[in-house]
Structure 1
């Protein structure tokens, strides 16, 4: 399979900087909905998911080889996130419907293996149309992840039946927040936890207790509005840098925001001219100074849509993904 590589330079708003930011398309399959990027230090690889291909696919971008390996998993037709498991080299936790499952994959073969169910978060008729969406681990390896009902934020099915959950191997699953439409971006900065419900069109901040994993004191710190109105795009996946700034992907927005959570000021916008659906972002690379971005097609005709991208020249770095403790 041949993949086209594209690159373009950006100037960005908000502050002066002598360096230029560069966005490059990486060798990667064209995903219907690429999601959930996670940088793994041990393998120097970025793992992510194509949720909506003919079969959901787990993918690994190998930094040294500059190559992406895809695989499907028998008996796991839906995968929505991927998290490497602590003390394992080939086992991963993936979201499937409302069950978190353990799979085994060597990172190169075209097939992975289902191992076992790890835990479930929802059951019953009320949740029958829900599925897992975005998930990450907090700094000490606890699972944080949520569900969603429908893919779109408009129409008669705009019902907040989803939730945000935490899994801790000592106490199991804990419900953290209800009345969610599409549980999405998550990141931690010091004693704060940031969270996106895409169809609420805002960014929430919580106090975060690293000792217990509890979150409290919910407040809205950023409203997604353009000229006072809800725009056509929604906030999607999110990460943070070592300086505490947030990087937020926009679905149908052609851009990634850089946001100062202390002031709610947008410091920069990194624009993808021919890619509208930016789904999520994660820092990675040997120096953790590359911002990787997953994208989706979902009907877009541009050849650039649906591929994996990297953004360099940001002048900062982030943190690697944390493996989940099961």
Structure 2
């Protein structure tokens, strides 16, 4: 059994850390503090974060191919191009403007540089969302709706051969799989790959959140209200490993580091009351997980948006 080392890697405390994106070129980690409206860049060697405050709800941040200072971001129900240095925002697209209270949530680029992002309905309290009001979109030259009747859009990942796409609906507690065409971005043959509702060994309060894929082609899933990350074998659907963390609201994960053998983890502090914050002093920090197993690690899947 692999041994894991879990350590706090940030001095910055997020209300709701999300969307970790490892940049291999600069050896830095981008992420958002969603509720604060901040886009952030962590320097792991110093544990310091450079923070750009945008305001409102910022749910995702992904670099753009042709300029290291340009990013595609999700703010409320809109996509923008954001320049890190000038702070300028240029609107690219808007979703669901007829659905009051809907907003964008997690997003990621595929290997061709196509951006994927999901939406969600109004959230009355953490994990309590108006049902079936969200959708999943792709954005390249234009915005395309790909999947509907979603509660709370979250983690996205692709198989190593880019033939399968995985997608999480958090409050339905499901991971879907689709056949994926990397050339045109089509998803077909929808299936339920993993159903948390059928697992007696997982608490009912646990919600799957962000996820990534490792170099063996297996999924690592952050478990909100679960104090853990689980590793799911994509061939069998079995949970093959679990990593426990010292805080409960685990939001997302990505592999990074020079050799891509470090797992970076975002967490949240806002959903916790005063007593639980006192019990979980590392809530809202970012973590780094390392392992003695040579199999632990990912490929460079931190794809940039191909503008």
Work out whether the TM-score is over 0.5.
yes
For 1:130, the equivalent position in structure 2 comes to 102
Equivalents in 1 of 2:94, 2:167: separation in Å?
21
How do residues 102-251 of structure 1 correspond to structure 2 at under 5 angstroms?
102-106=81-85, 113-124=87-98, 127-151=99-123, 152=125, 158-169=130-141, 172-189=142-159, 190=161, 191-225=163-197, 226-227=199-200, 231-251=204-224
Asked if 1:101 corresponds to 2:80, the answer is yes
- In the alignment, which of 72, 77, 84 is matched to residue 53 of structure 2? 72
Q: Distance in 1 between matches of 2:203 and 2:6?
A: 27
Partners of 2:229 and 2:27 lie apart in 1 by 24
Alignment CA distance shift 1:136-1:69 (3 Å): same
SS at match of 1:239: strand
Query: Structure 1 residue runs of 4+, over 6 Å off?
Result: none
Aligned length: 294
Give the Å deviation of 1:154: 6.5
CA distance in 1, matches of 2:202, 2:265: 27
Question: Does residue 232 of structure 2 align to residue 259 of structure 1?
Answer: yes
- Match for residue 319 of structure 1? 299
Alignment deviations for residues 4-29 of structure 1 (CA, whole Å, 9 cap, x no partner): xxxxxxxxxxxx34xx2101001231
Q: Residue 90 of structure 1 is aligned with which of 63, 69, 76?
A: 69
Can you give the 5+ residue segments of structure 2 that lack an aligned partner in the other structure?
none
> Which secondary structure state, in structure 2, belongs to the residue aligned with residue 199 of structure 1?
coil
Deviations 1:206-233 (A, max 9, x none): 1111111111100011110342887111
Structure 1 residue ranges without an equivalent (≥5) = 1-15, 107-111
Tell me the residue number matched to 2:31.
Answer: 48
CA separation of 1:229/1:268 partners in 2, compared to 1, >3 Å: closer, same or farther?
A: closer
Q: Is the 8 A contact 1:121 1:165 kept in 2?
A: no
Q: Under a length normalisation based on structure 2, what TM-score does the superposition of the two structures give? A: 0.91
What TM-score comes out, normalization by structure 1 length?
A: 0.86
Question: What is the deviation of 1:37?
Answer: 0.3
Task: Check whether the contact 1:37–1:48 (CA below 8 A) recurs between aligned residues.
Answer: yes
Distance in 1 between residues matched to 2:63 and 2:94, nearest whole Å: 18
CA deviation vs aligned residue, 1:138-182 (integer Å, no higher than 9, x gap): 011001110111335766x5321000000122xx11111000000
Query: Are residue 39 (structure 1) and residue 11 (structure 2) matched?
Result: no
Instruction: Mark the CA change 1:230 to 1:215 in structure 2 (over 3 Å): closer, same or farther.
Output: farther
Shift of 1:319: 2.8
Distance, in Å, in 2 between the alignment partners of 1:129 and 1:114 is 25
Measured in 2, the distance between the counterparts of 1:257 and 1:154 equals 19
Structure 1 CA distance, aligned partners of 2:237 and 2:107? 24
Q: How many angstroms apart in 1 are the aligned matches of 2:39 and 2:127? A: 29
Give 1:64 shift.
4.3
When structure 1 is superposed on structure 2, of 135-144 and 62-71 the one drifting more is 62-71
The answer for the alignment partner of 1:58 in structure 2 is 39
